[in-house]
Amino acid sequence: MDKYLKSSQKSMKAYVHIFILAIVAFSVLIFLNFYALFKSSRNNIIDSQQNDVEQSAIKTNEILSDSTKSIEITSYTINKMMLNGASSAEIHAYLVEQTDIYKNAIGMNYTGLYGVFDGEYLDGSDWVPDDDYIPESRTWYKSAIEADGEVTLISPYLDMETGSMVMSVSRMLSDGKSVISVDAVLDEIQEITKERVPKGEGNYALVLSDDGTVVAHSAQSKVGQSYLNDSGSFGSIVAKKLFETKEKTFVVQYNGVRYMVFSAPIGNDWHALTVMNENSLYGPLKGIYFIFFIVLIFFVGVISAIFIKLTQKRTEAENLNIQLRSVSAIYTTVHMINLNNDTFKEITSTPEISAMLLNGTEHAGDTLKLVMDMKTAEISKKSMETFLDLSTLDERLKVNGTVTQEFLNDNNMWFRARFVAVDYNDDKTLYRVLYMVEAIDDEKRQRDNLQYLSETDRMTGILNRGGGETKIRELIENGRGGMFCLLDADKFKSINDNYGHGVGDQVLIEIANCLKKSFRGNDVVLRLGGDEFAAYAPTVMNEKMGRPIIERFFENINQIQIKELKDRKICVSMGVAFYLSGDTYSFDELYKRADQGTYISKKHEGNYVTFEGKE
């Protein structure tokens, strides 16, 4: 067993201990955080629902107070009128006046003021009762007399015609026998109740009067029912527990399902309630349970993966030499490099390289550079010097565990050098790497030829659309601004029609040759297709710099001579746009700008160019 294998086993034990401690610590931490989150979430849900029902109670109380205030104000005035000897006609006129005022102020849920004054029934909305109507026998009158001058809210009743709950608000006047009253339709309270019902099956919102009558309910059909008289129903269970316990929050059970009830008082012993199925109420907490379960599964998976990985590591160490011998069948040279002590060990190599390394196995970095300097073509030396820098290997191998570099050797043959991460120190820094070199001359030249064919327009020999646009996009993305030219041949279709496609092809070839002669060696010239061509000249940033190139191109176009065309001249229309160093728009936008110029140039005879922004 070599030193590396012993070190691997020692590290394996340390990793096992560290990971077990880490898993235990993280498990405890996750459990404590989960428990705290659970309690906090549960309390927040309860507080939120209780706050909602209390806000609803406040709104409902405000609505009821409107009717109460109207009675207080009106009764005060009528008491004064009666003391001053006002007639029934004057009192009636006042009721009509106040009815109109309150209707405008309170809305259509207000039916109007009415009452009994000195034994006579008067109505502010001019409603005329039947002959057998006896106001003194009505609940609104009796309750007011019993209240002895206090404003009283009469238990609401369901109007069978409208389906709305109606409540009378009454008060006895100072003479002890006259009563002022008003009927209020409670539709607005019904709307408020519907709006606050929580989402979810089995959730309800309602308002109960002091005698258990349902004043408002999120289920409209429940309005008007008397829960205290409806023995055994779900509503009866809720109402009885509400009035028995007087608690804001309590739990009831019905048909095996638990419900949480939130309540808030409304003025004169009414109550706003929210009833929620506990499954719906605590639904968000199910997500926390699920996350906690996933986390536990994750940690179990991590532990399993660690043990599997450690077992695999030992197997990999034992089979390392076998694997390296297999690799040597592909690579011409293979060396193991120890980055800790800057040494190397030959796995396989060519006789020539082996002879160069007879001096020993130390100074791996310097030795690699020496061999590279002797066996690498001048054109590849700079890139290989950077590639062989052992001080940067740790960072370069972090992502994929391997890096490659293609280079020409001193015999002008293509090779590929490769570093592969093999092992790491306890502090996760790179410890050992494989340095391998393989011959790829045939592969490289075939690949380059295929790339050339895929990027070249076969007719003209310049770049095709795919190859040319790719190079231009790369230049733009790298911040290489320049001049983009877009052009096509004028009346090219007539050349094909009158002289044949063979002559048309010759025209395209000549235009391509003019582009190659007119633009610089590092410029990109391409055929887009048909009679359309383009060119991109990096560093040419304005018209002053670009116009000489365009004029040189036009001069070359003028010199085209094709025997079949005789004296007919070839002309092109060109549009030019500039991509400046600070621009961020796309190549497609650059193309569009140049195309606009080409369109304008088409309106002119002969060779013509339109620069961006000019007509």
Distance of CA 256 to the CA centre of its chain: 41
pLDDT at 108: 45
What are 129's two structure tokens? 């009762």
pLDDT at 214: 87
d(CA 41, CA 437): 61
Say whether 588 sits in a helix, a strand or coil: helix
Say whether 437 sits in a helix, a strand or coil: strand
d(CA 330, CA 524): 39
With a cut of 70, say whether residue 387 has pLDDT above it: yes
Q: Is the pTM of this model over 0.75?
A: no
pLDDT at 9: 56
The mean pLDDT value for 195-218 works out to: 83
pLDDT at 4: 44
**Pairing assessment for the beta strands 430-439 and 204-208 based on DSSP bridges:** unpaired
Q: What are phi and psi of 533, to 5 degrees?
A: -130, 165
**Pairing assessment for the beta strands 572-579 and 608-611 based on DSSP bridges:** parallel
pLDDT at 2: 46
Taking only the tens place, the pLDDT of each residue in 558-573 is 999 999 998 899 999 9
Q: How confident is the model at residue 329 (pLDDT cuts 50, 70, 90)?
A: low
pLDDT at 175: 92
pLDDT at 615: 60
Q: How confident is the model at residue 131 (pLDDT cuts 50, 70, 90)?
A: confident
What are 154's two structure tokens? 């009469």
What rounded mean pLDDT belongs to the chain? 85
d(CA 25, CA 19): 10
With a cut of 70, say whether residue 8 has pLDDT above it: no
The fold of 42-303 is Beta-Lactamase (3.30.450)
Asked whether this chain's domains 42-303 and 328-446 adopt the same fold, the reply is yes
Taking only the tens place, the pLDDT of each residue in 579-604 is 998 899 999 999 999 999 999 999 99
Q: How confident is the model at residue 310 (pLDDT cuts 50, 70, 90)?
A: low
Q: Which residue has the higher pLDDT, 528 or 308?
A: 528
d(CA 555, CA 75): 106
Domain range annotation of the chain: 42-303, 328-446, 456-611
Q: How confident is the model at residue 43 (pLDDT cuts 50, 70, 90)?
A: confident
pLDDT at 5: 44
Taking only the tens place, the pLDDT of each residue in 339-353 is 999 888 888 888 887
The mean pLDDT value for 74-99 works out to: 91
Whether domain 328-446 has CATH 3.30.450.20: the reply is yes
Calculate what percentage of the chain has a pLDDT beyond 90. Answer: 36
pLDDT at 591: 96
**Pairing assessment for the beta strands 343-348 and 524-529 based on DSSP bridges:** unpaired
Eight-state DSSP code of residue 117: E
pLDDT at 530: 92
Calculate what percentage of the chain has a pLDDT beyond 70. Answer: 88
Q: How confident is the model at residue 449 (pLDDT cuts 50, 70, 90)?
A: low
The mean pLDDT value for 240-259 works out to: 87
With a cut of 50, say whether residue 492 has pLDDT above it: yes
pLDDT at 448: 65
With a cut of 70, say whether residue 13 has pLDDT above it: no
Q: Which residue has the higher pLDDT, 444 or 327?
A: 444
With a cut of 60, say whether residue 319 has pLDDT above it: no
Whose CA is closest to 154, among 210, 97, 192, 110?
A: 210
d(CA 365, CA 530): 55
With a cut of 80, say whether residue 31 has pLDDT above it: no
What are 429's two structure tokens? 């820094």
With a cut of 90, say whether residue 127 has pLDDT above it: no
d(CA 260, CA 446): 76
With a cut of 50, say whether residue 1 has pLDDT above it: no
Q: Which CATH number fits domain 456-611: 1.20.1260.10, 4.10.93.10, 3.30.70.270, 3.20.20.140?
A: 3.30.70.270
pLDDT at 50: 85
Q: Which residue has the higher pLDDT, 480 or 185?
A: 480
Taking only the tens place, the pLDDT of each residue in 194-205 is 888 777 777 888
For the ranges 239-243, 439-443, 508-512, the maximum mean pLDDT occurs at: 508-512
Taking only the tens place, the pLDDT of each residue in 19-28 is 677 777 877 7
Q: How confident is the model at residue 323 (pLDDT cuts 50, 70, 90)?
A: low
Distance of CA 596 to the CA centre of its chain: 37
Residue 106 CB contacts under 8 Å (≥ 6 apart), including other chains = 66, 67, 70
Say which range, 106-115, 256-265, 281-290, 466-475, has the weakest mean pLDDT: 281-290
Eight-state DSSP code of residue 409: B
With a cut of 80, say whether residue 162 has pLDDT above it: no
CB atoms within 10 A of CB 401: 12
For the ranges 295-299, 343-347, 442-446, 600-604, the maximum mean pLDDT occurs at: 600-604
The mean pLDDT value for 112-125 works out to: 89
End-to-end CA distance of the chain: 83
With a cut of 70, say whether residue 537 has pLDDT above it: yes
d(CA 507, CA 463): 17
The mean pLDDT value for 196-216 works out to: 83
With a cut of 60, say whether residue 417 has pLDDT above it: yes
